[in-house]
Structure 1
Amino acid sequence: MSHIFISDLKPGDKVNQFFLVKRKERRRARNGKDFLDLTLADKTGSLNGKIWSEHLEGLEPLFSEGQFAGVAGRVEAFQDELQLTVEKIRGIRHWSPEQLEKAGFDPDLLVPPPPVEIEPLWEGLTRLVREEIRHPALKQLTLTLLLTNAAAWKKWPASKVYHHAYAGGLLEHTLKVTAMAFEITRLFPELHRDLVLAGAVLHDIGKLRELEGPYSEQNTFEGQLIGHLIQGRDMIREAAQALEWDDPRLLTQLEHVLLAHHGQLEFGSPVVPQTREALVIHMLDDLEGKLKMMTDQIHRDRGEGPFTDWHRVLKRKILKEPVSTSQDPNAADPSSGAVEESR
């Protein structure tokens, strides 16, 4: 199969190639008939797909969300957007290795490469834990959870849509929050340093159970009903059973950091931050995520004005131009002797 990138598709094109199925949802049309609404993707973007009622029963069992599939259909325009009417689809689990090779299956065409280098991020995160967390049980707990889940942690996105929504995004977000947390503990020595660092590393670990996989836009059954805050708390409890704690309340405080890191009840936290350490992780998580959303909005915007389009999550426009660093030519240069002379 020759692959036409989604970015190059146009109305009238016929396709017979592989896609990543990011979303698969059964819906009902106005005529009362069921259909499947899909999000198909390759490395250049995503495309809406439809399987109408006449093909539904035969095709629905042949593929799964979050997996690759061979797809045949035709591209149409609907409300100024491209849409693929799917006539045939078959997940790669129904293909033999020989068939996949003959068809030219290449996952590198279907998944965009991570915008960050994974191994240096992973090395930085594990080194920080080994060198900077001093409490024996907190260090062992954090390292155990990191190393046990290493493969998934390197692949999982940090979110489905809002920020770091790509392979390796969870690792990038985790390292940035942890690096900021490290600096905060230097400014505020009254904080429990090891608790802050362990909480920063582990605050989103529940997403490894909440999301169906690195390429899916859907939650697992448990993830939908329970959510990653409580799932993360459960992962900590499971791993902590094999460790000795000189102060069992420390483990409870770490659980509190995870449960409170969304900050407010209406944002999904079952409790609000009631310790300084929990407040720090909540605010750093929120700060890093929102800075990433602002940066992404600036990079996506193609308008000519100084501000981006409205960001529906942040509920604001964002200034695209950097703040000028030019100086008044008459102002004293702090690197010159003028500062010294004025003292």
Structure 2
Amino acid sequence: MESDLPDLITITQLRQIAGPTPQPYRIQVQVDNRNEKLTSGGSPFFEIKLADGGDSLLWRLFDSNPIFDEARSLTRGSFVEITAQWVDTGKYGIEPRHPRLRPLTEEEKGTLLGGDPDLLARQRIDYADIERFVAAIRDPRLRGVSSLFLEKHGERFRRTAAARENHHARRGGLVEHVAQMMRSALAIASTYPTLNQDLLVAGVLFHDCGKLWENSYPESSFAMPYHLHGEMLGHITLGLELMNKLWRDLLERPEATAWATLEPANEHVRLHLLHLIASHHGEYQYGSPVLPKTPEALVLHHVDNIDAKMEMFRRGYENSRELAPGIFERFRPWPVNVVAPLSSVPPASPATE
């Protein structure tokens, strides 16, 4: 009977509740990859990467498991439900004990591909904020090229990750990253009024736009493919090329004739925006062909870095094993164990004051 089945949860929820005591749950996932490897003793085992709309999980399945032969059917892209007693082993992370596999129905696939409702709701808010921040840009050139990007590539933008692994590594993760960076950049701009706020907002929007051809997901999959353009050129180079293409398209529109006499000149604006894309990694060894040479470029680099690191902290607190009270095991690529943050003192009540 369906009512007797364990609760159906997401991978993110599983990470939050899995512990040393096995607990029964179901997860519905897509197989991102399945690699057959050998142990040090020469025995075969599978490394199976499972993914849903918000997270992924690596499952090591050894040949002693009764379903080892059945797991050969778990090819890249297949959809499956896993019912098991889930346990956090520490050494190998979360794994299913006594797992049972079932392929998903077409209806279940559609529901899974629709994504986690809570995550989708947050991403819808983020995208609406991006549209609002773009609409508020006063420079007609920067507002125009930003709007043109959303108009032409908004759908692909919505299903692109900010990274393949390190931060916001999920469908729509780039939208989350860009929206939060815009909020941070605007807060900084309110403190330093000499900053060009319009340029900063546009720079945030475009800084990772090349990732639409490096870290995008297909419409019907959580398995991020590798793209030849992304591998051979990288997202900074692709971003510069896309920016130039959009700028040329923008200047061909009828309204662009009124911008010929604007100051700063069109070409000057374009160069500053290109510089933000080119320099946002901040250092040569991290892939930037040029170092930040303007205040806006410097702010963009640090806002990008801060938001990425804050997401790494969030993921670490959520997913890492607690070694001791308030001390969490290091996670890739973070170089050290992380420590729980200091709680804020609650505001005093009127009576206390």
* TM-score normalised by length of structure 1: 0.71
Q: In 1, are the aligned partners of 2:159 and 2:216 still within 8 Å (CA)? A: no
1:211 to 215, 219, 229: 215
Q: Structure 2 counterpart of 1:270, which letter?
A: P
Q: In 2, are the aligned partners of 1:144 and 1:239 still within 8 Å (CA)? A: yes
Q: Distance in 2 between matches of 1:70 and 1:326?
A: 48
Structure 2: gaps spanning 5 or more residues:
19-26, 252-259
Between the aligned residues of both structures, percent identity stands at 23
Q: Distance in 2 between matches of 1:222 and 1:45?
A: 25
State how 1:55-134 maps to structure 2 within 5 Å.
64=76, 67-69=77-79, 80=92, 82=95, 100=106, 105-108=109-112, 111-113=115-117, 115=119, 116-131=121-136, 133-134=137-138
Structure 1: gaps spanning 5 or more residues:
9-16, 93-98, 334-343
SS in 2 for 1:149: helix
Q: Distance in 2 between matches of 1:234 and 1:34?
A: 46
- Report the alpha carbon displacement of residue 258 of structure 1 after superposing the two structures with TM: 0.9
140 and 35 in structure 1: CA distance in 2 versus 1, 3 angstrom threshold: farther
The residue that corresponds to 2:307 in the other structure is 288
Q: Note the aligned Cα RMSD (angstroms).
A: 4.5
- Report the alpha carbon displacement of residue 146 of structure 1 after superposing the two structures with TM: 1.5
- Report the alpha carbon displacement of residue 247 of structure 1 after superposing the two structures with TM: 2.8
SS in 2 for 1:206: helix
Q: In 2, are the aligned partners of 1:50 and 1:83 still within 8 Å (CA)? A: no
Q: In 2, are the aligned partners of 1:307 and 1:320 still within 8 Å (CA)? A: no
SS in 1 for 2:276: helix
Q: Distance in 2 between matches of 1:198 and 1:135?
A: 10
- Report the alpha carbon displacement of residue 308 of structure 1 after superposing the two structures with TM: 2.6
Q: Distance in 1 between matches of 2:232 and 2:102?
A: 30
Q: Distance in 1 between matches of 2:200 and 2:55?
A: 39
The residue that corresponds to 1:275 in the other structure is 294
Q: Is the aligned partner of 1:305 residue 2:325?
A: yes
Q: Which moved more, 1:253-262 or 1:303-312?
A: 303-312
Q: Is the aligned partner of 1:148 residue 2:152?
A: yes
Q: Distance in 1 between matches of 2:131 and 2:282?
A: 27
Q: Distance in 1 between matches of 2:302 and 2:227?
A: 27
Deviations 1:67-90 (A, max 9, x none): 444699x99x99756489xxx999
Larger radius of gyration: 1
Q: Distance in 2 between matches of 1:249 and 1:45?
A: 43
* TM-score normalised by length of structure 2: 0.69
The residue that corresponds to 1:48 in the other structure is 59
State how 1:322-341 maps to structure 2 within 5 Å.
322-325=343-346
Q: Is the aligned partner of 1:22 residue 2:32?
A: yes
- Report the alpha carbon displacement of residue 188 of structure 1 after superposing the two structures with TM: 2.2
1:225 to 224, 227, 232: 232
Q: Distance in 1 between matches of 2:227 and 2:60?
A: 22
Q: Distance in 1 between matches of 2:325 and 2:163?
A: 29
